Amino acid sequence: MKVALLMGSDSDYPRLEPCVARLKEFGIEVEVRVLSAHRTPDQVVEFVRGAPARGVKLFLAAAGGAAHLAGVVSGHTDLPVIGIPLDNPPLGGLDALLATVQMPGGVPVATFGVGSGGPVNAAIFAARVLALSDAGLAARVKRFRESQAEGVLAKDRALQKKLGG
């Protein structure tokens, strides 16, 4: 399985590294590009339209500020698009969240939260979508969920022991 992660600026990558890492942990290949909806619109369209021939099954689009990248991608593909609004100044990501989530009818973008949880949740959601047609990936997603539960229960046991319970 292969996905494409687009970001509007290379300065966004440090916040998106956990997304890339999580996708790779699931065994999903990631094509990562810096392309801007505003500064390189022709290249965005070319990249998106050529993606299926490269094996891309889903797009993740991260942007701050005006954050039109996910909407532009969605306007040029029939593949699923996940928007990741980034918490850039001066509005702390509210502008990016609203720009990403307020798509007109017929231009769907699944949108995740602003902040460090957004990129990770976007990766997990992408894996869940792709797992619908890949039993091996579905098993890896299930194991991930189970390991999260095990981690919480281990922390609870440690706390109970500390509290003498």
Instruction: Spell out the domain ranges in the chain.
Output: 2-133
CATH topology for 2-133 is Rossmann fold (3.40.50)
pLDDT in tens, 116-145: 999 999 999 999 999 999 999 999 999 999
Q: Average pLDDT for residues 60-84, to the nearest whole number? A: 97
Q: Which of 99, 105, 103 is nearest to 85 (CA)?
A: 99
> Would you place residue 41 in the very low, low, confident or very high pLDDT band (cuts 50, 70, 90)?
very high
Per-residue confidence (pLDDT) for residue 71, from 0 to 100: 97
> Would you place residue 28 in the very low, low, confident or very high pLDDT band (cuts 50, 70, 90)?
very high
Q: Is 46 helix (H, G, I), strand (E, B) or coil?
A: helix
Identify whether the C-beta of residue 4 lies closer than 8 Å to the C-beta of residue 31.
Answer: yes
Residue 151, token pair as written in the block = 């981690």
Q: What does pTM read for this prediction? A: 0.94
What is the C-alpha separation between 68 and 64, in angstroms, rounded?
9
Please state, rounded to an integer, the average pLDDT across all residues of the chain.
97
